[in-house]
Amino acid sequence: MSLERFGKAWEAKFGEAPKRNVPLAPYTTIGIGGPADALVEAKTTDQLIEALRLARQFDLSYTILGGGSNVLIRDAGIRGLVIVNRCKRIEVDGTTVKAESGAPFAGLARKTIRLGLRGLEWGVSIPGTVGGAVVGNAGAYGGDVASVLKRAEVLSPDIKRESWNRERFSFGYRTSYLKEAWKRGEKWLVLSVEFELKKGDKESLEAKAAEYLEHRRRTQPKEPSMGSTFKNPPGDYAGRLIDRAGLKGKRAGNAQISTVHANFIVNLGGATASEVEKLMEIARNEVFRQFGIDLEPEVLILGG
């Protein structure tokens, strides 16, 4: 009922009905996920806010997807509405770069390099959107979002726009206030982000980015994945522990613990979310049994 009311209101406003029963696998980097009851793609910040406002008004449960590169969507899919964030505008003013939250993060990083700005060059290898990167405090090669984010505009669960400084995000290793809040069902949304960068030398930034990409090609699997499945425990690497537990190459159906990097679970073609979850459970149990370390998932599991 609430879906119908949402659909009518959305169509009246934007001239297009939400899509129904949409398989979500194509919206994720691992290519896995059952259907969403309904799905809309927000191309402007106004549309994004309106989607949330209407969902709230009609008591419809909703989930935001950026690039789907850090989530595992269960085989039964997601009930209610999935909002895919396609808001991509980027503005540059000196060393300040403001990006809408649906902008591809790697594309933003490449743009800043072309402009001779330093601070986001590590981001060339990170799939997904700016919003997703903020939520998980994405990072690589010694850089992370927390080091360059100056302010961000967020939408509160009761649909109020707020401007947050860096401290307000309580960034930690691959986490933020927002990521922990989503786990509790408290849905904050990143609308846009202001990064403070430094002037740099374009050629050396380009060389660094090429080096990072080459390192990725050598050390990460080519098959579809969600990136790192687990966070690295303090002082160690999840990949090393899973490898030492003898699990490299372990399969469940068409999901496999990568033979290249044991913290990646790859989809060999047609894998299901339950197969991936099974491998996650095996890795977690074995590492705990053999080394007494409880690995914490980095990926968020959505749906049910």
Q: By C-alpha distance, which of 97, 49, 92, 303 is closest to 195?
A: 97
Stretch touching ligand FAD by CB under 6 A, among 12-20, 61-69, 162-170, 232-240: 61-69
Active-site annotation holder among 101, 225, 228, 258: 228
Q: In whole angstroms, how close is the CB of 115 to ligand FAD at the nearest point?
A: 21
Q: In whole angstroms, how close is the CB of 61 to ligand FAD at the nearest point?
A: 12
Task: Rule CB under 6 A: choose which of 33, 132, 143, 200 binds ligand FAD.
Answer: 132
Rounded to whole angstroms, the Cα distance separating 245 from 239 reads 10
User: Which residues make beta-bridge pairs with 22?
Assistant: 36
Rounded to whole angstroms, the Cα distance separating 93 from 100 reads 15
Stretch touching ligand FAD by CB under 6 A, among 8-16, 32-40, 50-58, 222-230: 222-230
User: Which residues make beta-bridge pairs with 156?
Assistant: none
Q: Does 200 bind ligand FAD (CB under 6 A)?
A: no
Angle between helices 45-57 and 2-14 (to 10 degrees): 150
For residue 174, indicate whether it is catalytic.
yes
Pairing of strands 143-144, 71-73: unpaired
Q: Does 128 bind ligand FAD (CB under 6 A)?
A: yes
Q: Select 14 or 141, whichever has its Cβ closest to ligand FAD.
A: 141
Q: Does 300 bind ligand FAD (CB under 6 A)?
A: yes
Q: By C-alpha distance, which of 15, 17, 21 is closest to 7?
A: 17
For residue 192, indicate whether it is catalytic.
no
Task: Rule CB under 6 A: choose which of 33, 66, 77, 303 binds ligand FAD.
Answer: 66
